[in-house]
Amino acid sequence: MSDNHTKETFFTKYIWSIDHKVIGIQYGITALLWLLVGFGLMMVMRYQLAYPDTQIPFIGWIFGEDKLLLPEKYNSLGAMHGTIMIFLGVVPLAFGAFGNYLVPLQIGAIDMAFPRLNAASYWTYFLGSIIMVVGFFVPGGAANSGWTSYPPLADVATAGQTVWLLGMVMLITSSLLGSVNIMVTVIQLRAEGMTWFRLPIFVWTQFITAFLLLLAFPPLEAAGILQLMDRLAGTSFFLPTGLVVSGEVLTNAGGGSPLLWQHLFWFLAHPEVYVLILPAFGIISEIIANNTRKPLSGYKSLVYAMTFLGFMSFVVWAHHMYLTGMGTTMGAFFQTTTMIISIPSVVILTALLLSLWGGSIRFNTPMLFALAFLPMFGIGGLTGLPLGLAAADIHLHDTYYVIGHFHYVVAPGTLFALFAGVYFWFPKVTGKSLNESLGKLHFYFSFIFMNGVFMPMFIQGLAGVSRRLADGGQAYAHAADVIYLNEIMSWSAWLLGMAQLFFIANVVLTLFKARTGEINPWNATTIDWTETSSPPLGHGNFEKIPVVYRGPYEYSVPGSKIDFTPQTEKG
């Protein structure tokens, strides 16, 4: 990184850039586009759920001459919706975009520890996402065995599943490169005076997320290799002996175990959900401290709770497998660990709620999203409890209750936090602030329709409506009383989609505005706001490397003339 004097071309400045800020923006734009795509897939699915076996309007021609969404296609949309939202959308946005852009700025570093590795991690992600989508164009269509890819179905599924596996290998590689980078950066490149307990909570969450990704993803990579071997080399790692597919007994050697896949998959996928929520906690923490004009309540509690959460996340995974016949001893073990892991989440939510007490709250768009996050995440978390209790899970497993639960945490949970983050840091990244009126419209409509889509799912789930049914439960008598909710949820989803137009319009219009370059429009205390321009300097971020003297949330310090004191101000 000593080649400041080589001439910069368009290519090295915008395409193969090794600057963490450019890479962060690359991740951000790509991820937001994929979120739109993943949402689009779901909007089509919701048409089938509201009006089963009727022609899809406008875009029905994509699905064939009869314009119907056949069950296999429905399954493809479902599997790809989940995969795209999680692996191509939320994680790259929360970790790749926000993490890469902000971590060096918030710790006072000139870039990430390994800038070229950083660029490699973005392009690997990009390549992986293209591979994923190629699946839609192979014979048989995209992967259709759920984002969870359970064998034996996934083993014998159409070619799209192989493409899914290859895409996952690339995405996992990208993630591992990113994790190493974030961890080394935070450990090694903190500025003078930036001790661990002066780090913004945002940096803590990125660090713990990186640790989770580092250790939890590789077993899924191993499982992916094994499934590829099953599909391409004829092995039987996940195929039991004597399996009958389409009326014929498979000639494979057999002796395999579908449960092996489930263990290896969920070993990642449980920590993965904490990967989805931790960056959100980080973003919300920054925005709440800033918009209450007071320090966060319980900084140390937050840090210890999140660290404990990270470690516990490795021992709860089989609560996704209660119904696989593992026996009451192990079921009790996982139930216990699952109940224990709910405690740090409560500590975190409580700390954030208490932080509002006595605050001078500013109700700007980022803060509205942050405030909404709290009860929405609360609902998501609370509805996880009956799922975590093995006895109740017998009734609720694989029903819409589960879908309602996890969407509350990820959609009005994490996605709201990510929107909050975009509105909050937009002025730093671009030098222009997003329009508040459009932002508030985006917020209020999104909030209403998010609840419109996901709240009824609990009702359907309690009634016993299973997930992944292409007809939305129509064929089942036990669903008859709650089937009317499908149409309501679908309209909420489409209106939710429309509400995003406020956001898209806002971004486009704001980008065309003139740059104000206001350095710190929110009057924040952290280094990313106070020590760099908006946008930050291209080479090296800082005119002068900052020295830190204080904690990250010194708002309304008694005796101070203004209500915020930057971290770099001497004591």
CB-based contacts of 561: which residues, under 8 Å, 6+ apart?
Answer: none
Minimal distance, residue 235 CB to other proteins, in Å: 4
Query: Per rule CB under 8 A, is residue 255 in the interface with other proteins?
Result: yes
Among 153, 189, 303, 507, binds other proteins (CB under 8 A): 189
Query: Per rule CB under 8 A, is residue 523 in the interface with other proteins?
Result: no
| Candidate ranges 5-13, 71-79, 261-269, 498-506; the one touching other proteins (CB under 8 A) | 261-269
Query: Per rule CB under 8 A, is residue 235 in the interface with other proteins?
Result: yes
Query: Per rule CB under 8 A, is residue 260 in the interface with other proteins?
Result: yes
Of 207 and 416, nearer to other proteins (C-beta) is 207
Among 126, 134, 153, 257, binds other proteins (CB under 8 A): 257
Q: What angle do CA 7, 11, 17 make, to 5 degrees?
A: 85
446-475 exposure pattern, b = at least 16 Cβ within 10 A, e = fewer:
bbebbbbbbbbbbebbbbbbbbebbbbbee
| Candidate ranges 1-9, 82-90, 299-307, 555-563; the one touching other proteins (CB under 8 A) | 1-9
Q: Would you call 263 exposed, middle or buried from its count of C-beta atoms within 10 A (0-12, 13-18, 19+)?
A: middle
Among 122, 202, 207, 217, binds other proteins (CB under 8 A): 217
The sign one gets for the Cα dihedral 465, 470, 471, 476 is: negative
Beta bridge partners of 371: none
Task: Give the HSE-up count for residue 283: Cα atoms under 13 Å, Cβ half-sphere.
Answer: 33
Count residues binding other proteins (CB under 8 A).
62
Q: Would you call 187 exposed, middle or buried from its count of C-beta atoms within 10 A (0-12, 13-18, 19+)?
A: exposed
Site for other proteins in 265-294 (CB under 8 A): 267
Give the tokens for residue 214: 């580092």
Of 480 and 537, nearer to other proteins (C-beta) is 537
Of 425 and 542, nearer to other proteins (C-beta) is 542
Query: Per rule CB under 8 A, is residue 315 in the interface with other proteins?
Result: yes
Query: Per rule CB under 8 A, is residue 110 in the interface with other proteins?
Result: yes
Q: Using CA atoms, how far apart are residues 80 and 148, in angstroms rounded to an integer?
A: 10
Q: Using CA atoms, how far apart are residues 302 and 296, in angstroms rounded to an integer?
A: 9
Query: Per rule CB under 8 A, is residue 448 in the interface with other proteins?
Result: no
Residue pointed to by tokens 């790259």: 92
Q: Using CA atoms, how far apart are residues 220 and 568, in angstroms rounded to an integer?
A: 42
Among 127, 153, 159, 259, binds other proteins (CB under 8 A): 259
Binding mask 359-398 for other proteins (x = CB under 8 A): ----------------------------------------
Among 330, 385, 394, 480, binds other proteins (CB under 8 A): 330
Minimal distance, residue 273 CB to other proteins, in Å: 17
Of 286 and 531, nearer to other proteins (C-beta) is 531
Query: Per rule CB under 8 A, is residue 203 in the interface with other proteins?
Result: no
Query: Per rule CB under 8 A, is residue 215 in the interface with other proteins?
Result: yes
Query: Per rule CB under 8 A, is residue 540 in the interface with other proteins?
Result: yes
| Residue of 87, 165, 157, 167 whose CA lies nearest to 132 | 167
Minimal distance, residue 369 CB to other proteins, in Å: 33
Q: CB neighbours (10 Å) of residue 256?
A: 22
The sign one gets for the Cα dihedral 125, 126, 129, 135 is: negative
Q: Using CA atoms, how far apart are residues 182 and 210, in angstroms rounded to an integer?
A: 7
Of 60 and 219, nearer to other proteins (C-beta) is 219
Query: Per rule CB under 8 A, is residue 253 in the interface with other proteins?
Result: yes
Minimal distance, residue 353 CB to other proteins, in Å: 31
| Helix H or strand E segment including 245 | strand 244-245
Crossing angle of helices 98-107 and 416-430, rounded to 10°:
60
Of 186 and 450, nearer to other proteins (C-beta) is 186
Residue 466 φ/ψ, nearest 5 degrees: -75, 155
Query: Per rule CB under 8 A, is residue 6 in the interface with other proteins?
Result: no
| Candidate ranges 52-60, 209-217, 288-296, 499-507; the one touching other proteins (CB under 8 A) | 209-217
Query: Per rule CB under 8 A, is residue 327 in the interface with other proteins?
Result: yes
Q: Using CA atoms, how far apart are residues 280 and 267, in angstroms rounded to an integer?
A: 22
Of 185 and 291, nearer to other proteins (C-beta) is 185
Site for other proteins in 148-187 (CB under 8 A): 176, 179-181, 183-184, 187
Q: Using CA atoms, how far apart are residues 533 and 536, in angstroms rounded to an integer?
A: 5
Query: Per rule CB under 8 A, is residue 229 in the interface with other proteins?
Result: yes
Minimal distance, residue 255 CB to other proteins, in Å: 5
Of 68 and 214, nearer to other proteins (C-beta) is 214
Contact criterion met (CB below 8 Å) for 122 and 27: yes
Query: Per rule CB under 8 A, is residue 538 in the interface with other proteins?
Result: no
Query: Per rule CB under 8 A, is residue 539 in the interface with other proteins?
Result: yes
Q: Using CA atoms, how far apart are residues 556 and 8, in angstroms rounded to an integer?
A: 44
Alpha helices (H) along 159-257: 160-188, 201-232
| Binding footprint of other proteins on the chain (CB under 8 A) | 1-2, 4, 109-111, 113-115, 176, 179-181, 183-184, 187-189, 211, 214-223, 225-226, 229, 233-237, 252-253, 255-257, 259-260, 263-264, 267, 311, 314-315, 318, 321, 325-331, 333, 539-540
